[in-house]
Amino acid sequence: MGRVASSVDNALIESFWSIMQRELLDRTSWDSKTQLASAMFEWIEGFYTPRRRHSALDYLSPADYEALHTTAEIAA
């Protein structure tokens, strides 16, 4: 643990939880675990996964990057 490029390094998931904590969990309170689970699912699937821009994708969201390359393949 803690070595660079280690398959068991948890820096990626720690970064993910940190972002979720800042952007979702610290801003709202829920009455039940079911509401919390639903809010987490909506945040991950509705915002974090398809719309968050990534430096590895030239600062495009995964959805935009995929659309760009799908359009390029169809045109070719």
**Mind spelling out the 3-state secondary structure of the chain?**
CCCCCCCCCCHHHHHHHHHHHHHHHCCCCCCCHHHHHHHHHHHHHHHHHHHCCEHHHCCECHHHHHHHHHHHHHHC
Domain locations in the chain? Answer: 11-75
Q: Give the pLDDT of residue 38.
A: 95
Query: Does the structure show a pLDDT above 70 at 4?
Result: no
Q: Report the percent of the chain where pLDDT is more than 70.
A: 80
The overall pTM is greater than 0.75:
no
